[in-house]
């Protein structure tokens, strides 16, 4: 089925077209929800809510931009609304929580798996994680993030900086990534 | 490769790896999404199934195990209905059936003797009783009214058996509808025996009274008619639901010849601005009571439905096209016309009234859920074949841009379904009925070739009167 046929079928509330659309985009969208949610069950709940919104608002899609991007936007907003219902983003709480996180040093295979990165992102405190997801992965600006989360733009920036630093530490401790070796000028001269 | 990185690439790495990650949801997620999207149809199907099941259940229950009526004698008991005013006086004039009497001698031998037997028979019967003779203090002349016994001598000489005039008579309980007159022979008795006899007489009275009333006193109740005539009026709020649109199948070779507006392919409800308006239903129904709680009904009903459309008028007529569905696979038909009424914009706003006048013949069931003779609660469902008498309405062009008028696109015959719940209260010979109702048009207002479907619906409040007839 072409995307256009799926789209038209979904507009007519055709169950087969809806199922096809869901099958195509649900794996990626569930991964998005998983990065925002506490656990897999939460992620599936957000996915379900998001897709219901997708199908009911399908007639508002105006063919501007990619269809996947439009779906992703709805899913992200659904995740944010869900988090806002359950948790207020509190910088001080995140800082306290961040200081208590402990990670083990693990030896990992040479190739970095996507799953490892995502699992490390999920270790972060919820505020850090959300801002990191929105800025680094979903591509929102700090201004947009501050409006979505009802926080100050400066808070968004500071949360992102801390989140990035913490993620880097985690990835280093787990040996998922390595810091680049520092170049020593006098050694280069000897060589 | 990934182990050696710079800070500038960190963001890129995170984004790249996160986008690569996929997770497959469990089946229950899709099931919940599906049931949420198709809930309305499910609720409709479930509601109709429940209504039909309920009607079938009550109908089956009533037809297989109908409630039986028990004739009430309360009314009779209250004022002695069934007994005329002279009944009490006439009690004694009822045809008496001679009681049986027994003669008990002191030794306990008894012999039944009929009251109106000949003296000779009595004497003969008495002669059979053994001695000894007992003194009768009253010297037994037995007197009575019509039922008096003949005089019994003080002593009866029977030869071998003799009995003096000590005779003790006892009244046996009545058999075979024996009615004992009060003017029964009263032999001279001792005080105790008198009391016993009085008690026995009282009991006889009670039995007689009951038998009289049961046998002779019940007046025949007039039989209730099973037919009822109902006349009603229902102010309604009528509206419509649009569906379809954009479904027409146009072969590509014809595209260049037929103007197509391919930008509006969604649900037509999203592209029109319409709202409900007042309507009216008036009718008369004849109901036939099958059982105590179920009735079937049919009749005639006049319906007036309308709704308002907000549109725009333009000074100069605009071309409008209605492309009709292809039925046989040939080139589709289309209607080209001009109109001054636009949907999306124009020179001035205009309110349109779409009106429909039709006549229907509702056929259905009415079920009494609970209540008594005075106050009842009922539900009813009907199917109504409907004929469109007249209409004054606009059609949406298939590109949703204009409104046109075309009488050839309207269906003359249609079907409606109705459900209602009402309370009925008896006032004299009439019953007043009040309650909400809902009516839905099952087929589209327009013919099948027209791609947009319209189903009218009306929510109303029924006010009616019904009366038994025939």
* Domain finish residue from A69, A86, A103: A86
pLDDT tens string B239-280: 999 887 654 444 444 434 444 444 445 677 878 888 899 999
Q: Which domain holds residue B301?
A: 227-469
**Distance of CA A127 to CAs A88, A94, A138, B18, Å?**
8, 6, 15, 18
Per-residue pLDDT at A93 exceeds 50: yes
A61: confidence class by pLDDT, cuts 50, 70, 90: confident
What's the whole-number mean pLDDT along residues A157-184?
81
In a shared domain, residues B296 and B431? yes
On whether the CB atoms of residues B338 and B375 are closer than 8 A, the answer is no
Cβ count near A41 (within 10 Å): 10
pLDDT confidence of residue B216:
54
In a shared domain, residues A137 and A151? yes
pLDDT confidence of residue A116:
86
In a shared domain, residues A26 and A96? no
Pairwise CB contact (< 8 Å): B22 & A28? yes
CATH code for the domain in which residue B327 is found: 2.40.160.20
In a shared domain, residues B242 and B199? no
Measure CB to CB from residue B10 to each of A15, A164, A178 and give the nearest one: A164
pLDDT confidence of residue A95:
55
CATH code for the domain in which residue A79 is found: 1.10.1740.10
Give whichever of A78-92, B24-38, B102-116 has the largest mean pLDDT: B24-38
Q: Provide the mean pLDDT of chain A.
A: 82
* Residue partners of A126: CB distance under 8 A and separation at least 6: A83, A87, A89, A94
In a shared domain, residues B324 and B175? no
Q: Residue holding tokens 């039925």?
A: B327
For residue A87, the distance in angstroms to the closest alpha carbon of chain B comes to 24
- A117 in any annotated domain: yes
In a shared domain, residues B233 and B371? yes
What is the DSSP-derived secondary structure letter of residue B268? Answer: G
* Joined tokens for residue A7: 């789209």
In a shared domain, residues A2 and A78? yes
Residues of B in contact with A8 (CB under 8 A): 265
| Number of separate domains in chain B | 2
For residue A90, the distance in angstroms to the closest alpha carbon of chain B comes to 24
pLDDT tens string A136-148: 999 999 999 999 8
B213: confidence class by pLDDT, cuts 50, 70, 90: low
CATH code for the domain in which residue A103 is found: 1.10.10.10
Per-residue pLDDT at B113 exceeds 90: no
* Residue partners of A128: CB distance under 8 A and separation at least 6: A94, A98, A159, A160, A162, A163, A166
* Cα B420 to Cα B422: distance, rounded to the nearest angstrom: 7
In a shared domain, residues B233 and B300? yes
* Domain finish residue from A86, A111, A130: A86
HSE of B114, CA atoms in CB hemisphere, 13 A: 8
In a shared domain, residues A174 and A100? yes
Per-residue pLDDT at A65 exceeds 80: no
pLDDT tens string B451-468: 888 999 999 999 999 998
pLDDT tens string B181-192: 444 445 555 677
- What stretches of A87-113 show up as alpha helix (H) in DSSP? 91-100
* Domain finish residue from B197, B217, B237: B217
Model confidence, pTM: 0.41
- B13 in any annotated domain: no
pLDDT confidence of residue B162:
43
Q: Which residues of A touch B (CB under 8 A)?
A: 8, 11-13, 15, 18-19, 22, 26-28, 30-31, 34-35, 40, 43-44, 47-48, 51-52, 55-56, 59, 110-118, 121, 132-133, 136-137, 164, 167-168, 177-178, 180
pLDDT confidence of residue B210:
65
* Angle (deg, nearest 10), helices B7-20 and A114-123: 110
Q: Which domain holds residue A126?
A: 89-179
* Domain finish residue from A86, A119, A142: A86
Pairwise CB contact (< 8 Å): A27 & B267? no
pLDDT confidence of residue B449:
83
pLDDT confidence of residue A150:
86
Dihedral of CA atoms B343, B347, B350, B352 in degrees, nearest 10, equals -40
In a shared domain, residues B308 and B451? yes
Per-residue pLDDT at B95 exceeds 50: no
For the four alpha carbons of B97, B98, B104 and B109, in that order, the dihedral sign comes to: negative
pLDDT confidence of residue B217:
53
In a shared domain, residues B462 and B315? yes
pLDDT confidence of residue B262:
44
Q: Which residue would you say has higher pLDDT here, B373 or B150? A: B373
Residues of B in contact with A122 (CB under 8 A): none
Q: Provide the mean pLDDT of chain B.
A: 72
In a shared domain, residues B157 and B298? no
In a shared domain, residues B321 and B439? yes
Q: Which residue would you say has higher pLDDT here, B38 or B332? A: B38
Pairwise CB contact (< 8 Å): A59 & B270? yes
In a shared domain, residues B254 and B176? no
* Domain finish residue from B176, B195, B217: B217
In a shared domain, residues A75 and A109? no
In a shared domain, residues A29 and A54? yes
In a shared domain, residues B333 and B424? yes
Per-residue pLDDT at A52 exceeds 60: yes
């Amino acid at each position: 089925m072409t995307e256009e046929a799926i789209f038209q079928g979904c507009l007519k509330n055709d169950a087969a077209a809806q199922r096809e659309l869901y099958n195509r985009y649900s794996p990626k969208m569930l991964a998005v929800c998983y990065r925002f949610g506490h656990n897999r069950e939460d992620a599936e709940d957000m996915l379900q809510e998001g897709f219901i919104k997708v199908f009911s608002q399908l007639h508002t899609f105006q063919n501007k931009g990619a269809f996947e991007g439009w779906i992703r936007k709805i899913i992200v907003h659904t995740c944010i609304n869900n988090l806002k219902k359950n948790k207020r983003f509190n910088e001080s709480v995140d800082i306290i929580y961040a200081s208590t996180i402990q990670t083990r040093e693990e030896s990992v295979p040479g190739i970095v798996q996507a799953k490892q990165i995502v699992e490390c992102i999920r270790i972060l405190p919820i505020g850090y994680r959300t801002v990191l997801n929105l800025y680094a992965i979903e591509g929102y600006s700090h201004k947009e993030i501050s409006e979505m989360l009802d926080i100050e733009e400066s808070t968004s920036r500071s949360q992102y900086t801390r989140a990035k630093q913490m993620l880097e530490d985690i990835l280093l401790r787990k040996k998922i990534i390595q810091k680049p070796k520092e170049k020593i000028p006098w050694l280069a001269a000897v060589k | 490769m990934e182990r050696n990185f710079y800070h500038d690439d960190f963001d890129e790495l995170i984004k790249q790896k996160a986008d690569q990650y996929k997770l497959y949801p469990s089946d229950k997620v899709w099931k919940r999404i599906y049931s949420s999207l198709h809930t309305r149809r499910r609720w409709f199907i479930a509601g109709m199934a429940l209504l039909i099941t309920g009607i079938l259940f009550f109908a089956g229950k009533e037809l297989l195990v109908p409630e039986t009526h028990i004739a009430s004698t309360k009314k009779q008991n209250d004022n002695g209905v069934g007994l005329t005013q002279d009944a009490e006086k006439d009690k004694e004039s009822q045809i008496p059936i001679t009681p049986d009497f027994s003669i008990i001698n002191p030794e306990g031998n008894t012999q039944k003797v009929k009251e109106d037997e000949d003296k000779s028979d009595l004497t003969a019967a008495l002669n059979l009783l053994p001695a000894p003779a007992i003194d009768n203090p009253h010297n037994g002349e037995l007197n009575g009214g019509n039922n008096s016994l003949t005089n019994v001598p003080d002593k009866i000489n029977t030869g071998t058996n003799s009995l003096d005039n000590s005779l003790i008579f006892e009244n046996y309980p009545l058999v075979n509808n024996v009615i004992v007159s009060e003017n029964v022979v009263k032999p001279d008795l001792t005080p105790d025996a008198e009391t016993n006899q009085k008690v026995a007489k009282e009991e006889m009275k009670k039995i007689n009274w009951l038998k009289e009333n049961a046998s002779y006193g019940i007046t025949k109740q007039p039989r209730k008619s099973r037919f009822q005539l109902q006349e009603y009026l229902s102010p309604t709020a009528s509206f419509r639901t649009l569906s379809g649109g954009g479904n027409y199948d146009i072969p590509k070779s014809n595209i260049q010849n037929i103007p197509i507006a391919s930008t509006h392919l969604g649900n037509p409800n999203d592209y029109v601005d319409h709202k409900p308006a007042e309507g009216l239903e008036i009718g008369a129904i004849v109901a036939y009571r099958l059982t105590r709680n179920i009735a079937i009904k049919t009749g005639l009903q006049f319906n007036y439905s309308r709704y308002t459309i907000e549109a725009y008028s333009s000074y100069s007529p605009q071309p409008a096209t209605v492309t009709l569905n292809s039925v046989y696979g040939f080139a589709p038909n289309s209607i080209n016309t001009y109109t001054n009424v636009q949907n999306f914009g124009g020179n001035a706003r205009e309110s349109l009234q779409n009106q429909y006048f039709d006549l229907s013949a509702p056929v259905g069931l009415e079920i009494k859920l609970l209540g008594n003779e005075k106050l009842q609660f009922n539900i009813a469902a009907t199917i109504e074949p409907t004929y469109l008498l007249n209409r004054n309405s606009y059609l949406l062009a298939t590109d949703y841009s204009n409104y046109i008028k075309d009488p050839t696109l309207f269906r003359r015959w249609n079907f409606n379904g109705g459900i209602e719940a009402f309370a009925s209260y008896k006032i004299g010979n009439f019953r007043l009925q009040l309650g909400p109702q809902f009516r839905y048009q099952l087929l589209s207002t327009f013919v099948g070739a027209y791609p947009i479907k319209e189903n009218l619906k009306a929510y109303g409040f029924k006010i009616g009167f019904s009366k038994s007839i025939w």
